[in-house]
A and B are shown apart, each in its own frame.
Chain A
Amino acid sequence: MILVPGRSSKQGTSLNHGKLKQEYIDVTSTLEMNQDDMAKLKLVDGDSVRLKNDVGETIVNCIGKKPEDLPSGMLFIPYGPPSSQLMESDTAGSGMPLSKHMEVEIEKVGG
């Protein structure tokens, strides 16, 4: 699947409170996922999932989004420490890693 990290309002307000505070950690650990994709993987809102690729892995909680809002195969997460664990460091000579287009595998954690 394609993971797209980005800014959200809650991420923006919680980072002002403090990046080491629980609110920011919770916000940046919440993954938005197409509801149909969640059903295929037998996931419900709040379930923990493991995201992994060749770079690393991270565990986050998922919440469903309507298919018309988030297409099948796409994941969105407010950027922060969990998404960084999956970011390739190669910048292809540009200085910029592919921060918004990460290919990841997803699996349910804890059965």
Chain B
Amino acid sequence: MTDNIKIVENATCTFCGCVCDDMDLHVDVEEKKIVKAKNACVLGRAWFAEHTIEDAPAAMIDGKEVSIEEAIEEAAQTLVKAKFPITYGLSDTTCEAQRQAVAISDFVKGTIDTTTSVCHGPSGLAFQGVGESTSTLGEVKNRADLVIYWGGNPAESHPRHFGRYAVTPKGMFTPGGKKDRTVVLVDVRKTKSSPVADILVRPKPGKDFEVLWALRALVKGKTLSNDIEKDTGVPLDVLKDLVERMKNCRFGVLFFGMGLTMTRGRHFNSGALLALANDLNEFTHFVAKPVRGHGNVTGADNVVSWQTGYPFGVNFSRGYPRFNPGEFTTVDTLSNGHADAALIIASDPASNFPKKAIDHLKRIPIIVLDTKSTETTKDAHVAFRTATYGINTTGTVYRMDDVAITLRPAFESPFPDDETILTGIRKRVHELMLAKHKAHGASGEAKVASPSKD
């Protein structure tokens, strides 16, 4: 460590969807590394400590170092030649970069999808079907006296969710902090989050929908038999007690995680929970919020929505956006063998996708932008090493409650940021598509709209 330490106040951690913006970063300017991250949780400390400048080429084609310009040219050519190019990832980059990725997908008449489809995608479907009684995390902090976590383990996935937003902080109408709140945890197993809960509810695996529907019935005054325990694993008395607490609280919140969206029922589970929150507004104020994983996955939903009208799984092959989860979502475009080229931004599907999807991904040309080496970068046709958002670059991200936050970078990276690379690809793709249309005798300018930003 050198003596040349710079302090960046109120910096933002972009590791998880909490997007805590109260970091004080101590930066060794000469060594280009963060030596201390005050206020960071265990995940945030690792995020800041491990994102140093690695000795690696900024761009490679088939494993050989090339100039960034050559890599951009090859990436653009690959996307334009493809019949079914897909764009995927985007949850760990800025909104500015996400915007460029949407433009690229539009120009090449491809498909754009984000990690939302394998995260809260089912909740996205449920929002469209049921609606969302929502709030910011600030409202939760200041008002919520009943906090329910369903199908998640924030102590390990979002360690500051309890302390900064929902359980222990003292708010305007919750001056006693934890003392003014009742915390309920619903999960199939005991986790590191369990000690924070006043009430633990343990349904049988795959029975969340039945428990939620039973709660809805009780809220509506229906009678249930004790057999509900045999089916769900949850005694009727526990359900009745929970319903009374929900109806009689001042401000209740249901935070829900992957335990609902990644299990049997998927969007029906999320929809049942959202419907329960809606039902409870007959009696009190109740909101429901998905607990989002990656630092800017909420931004990805917002950017793709405001540019296409849909949050994920969007296809441009007909020249206008179409939304169809199950067809245009990435697990499906890969598993069904439809995709013939992939632009992967800040994501590692080769590590986390189903085997069949990974097998197809390895058969097609992949263009990858990432800050580190991953299973996906290993198979890349074109690989860009990029700067880390929030540490090396500014930009905009959305917290899990849709609050936009501007990033304060700590030190410069020798690598370009995602937005720069994607802007380069977008410009070149636009030129190539115009040339393609002219070669076919059509009016290229009419078919390929000009981007709004250079």
Interface residues of A, Cβ cutoff 8 Å to B: 2, 4, 6-9, 12-14, 16-20, 55-56, 68-71, 74, 76, 79-81, 84-101
The reply to whether B206 and A101 contact each other, CB–CB distance below 8 Å, is: yes
Q: Which of B42-50, B298-306, B421-429 contacts A (4 or more CB under 8 A)?
A: B42-50
Which chain A positions have C-beta within 8 A of B445? none
B269 to chain A, nearest CB (A): 11
Q: Which residue of B lies closest to A8 (CB)?
A: B156
Given the known A-B contacts A9-B42, A89-B357, are A95 and B189 also in contact in the complex, defined by CB atoms under 8 Å? Answer: no
Which chain A positions have C-beta within 8 A of B8? none
Given the known A-B contacts A4-B189, A68-B190, A70-B189, are A96 and B118 also in contact in the complex, defined by CB atoms under 8 Å? Answer: yes
**Measured between alpha carbons, how far is A19 from B180 in the docked complex, in Å?**
41
Which chain A positions have C-beta within 8 A of B43? 9, 12-13, 16
Which chain A positions have C-beta within 8 A of B202? 71
Q: Which of B218-226, B275-283, B348-356, B409-417 contacts A (4 or more CB under 8 A)?
A: B348-356
The reply to whether B205 and A74 contact each other, CB–CB distance below 8 Å, is: yes
Q: Which residue of A lies closest to B327 (CB)?
A: A93
The reply to whether B351 and A17 contact each other, CB–CB distance below 8 Å, is: no
With A19-B372, A19-B374 known, 9 other A-B pairs at CB within 8 A are: A12-B15, A17-B46, A19-B348, A88-B354, A89-B355, A91-B329, A94-B122, A95-B118, A98-B264
Which chain B positions have C-beta within 8 A of A19? 348, 351, 372-375
B290 to chain A, nearest CB (A): 13
B102 to chain A, nearest CB (A): 18
The reply to whether B264 and A95 contact each other, CB–CB distance below 8 Å, is: no
The reply to whether B372 and A18 contact each other, CB–CB distance below 8 Å, is: yes
Given the known A-B contacts A4-B189, A7-B156, A69-B189, are A96 and B355 also in contact in the complex, defined by CB atoms under 8 Å? Answer: no
Give the 3 A-B CB pairs with smallest separation, nearest first.
Answer: A95-B329, A93-B326, A89-B335
Among A69, A79, A89, A101, the one with the most B-chain Cβ atoms within 10 Å of its Cβ is A89
Please pick, from B153, B263, B313, the residue contacting A101 in the complex, using a CB distance under 8 A.
B263
**Measured between alpha carbons, how far is A45 from B107 in the docked complex, in Å?**
54
**Measured between alpha carbons, how far is A9 from B375 in the docked complex, in Å?**
21
Which chain A positions have C-beta within 8 A of B205? 2, 4, 74, 101
Given the known A-B contacts A7-B153, A84-B358, are A95 and B121 also in contact in the complex, defined by CB atoms under 8 Å? Answer: yes
**Measured between alpha carbons, how far is A56 from B355 in the docked complex, in Å?**
8
**Measured between alpha carbons, how far is A68 from B293 in the docked complex, in Å?**
28
The reply to whether B331 and A101 contact each other, CB–CB distance below 8 Å, is: no
The reply to whether A55 and B157 contact each other, CB–CB distance below 8 Å, is: no
The reply to whether B190 and A69 contact each other, CB–CB distance below 8 Å, is: yes
Please pick, from A16, A74, A87, the residue contacting B353 in the complex, using a CB distance under 8 A.
A87
Which chain B positions have C-beta within 8 A of A81? 351-352, 375
A25 to chain B, nearest CB (A): 11
Q: List 7 A-B contacts (CB under 8 A).
A: A13-B42, A55-B355, A70-B189, A70-B190, A96-B118, A98-B264, A101-B263
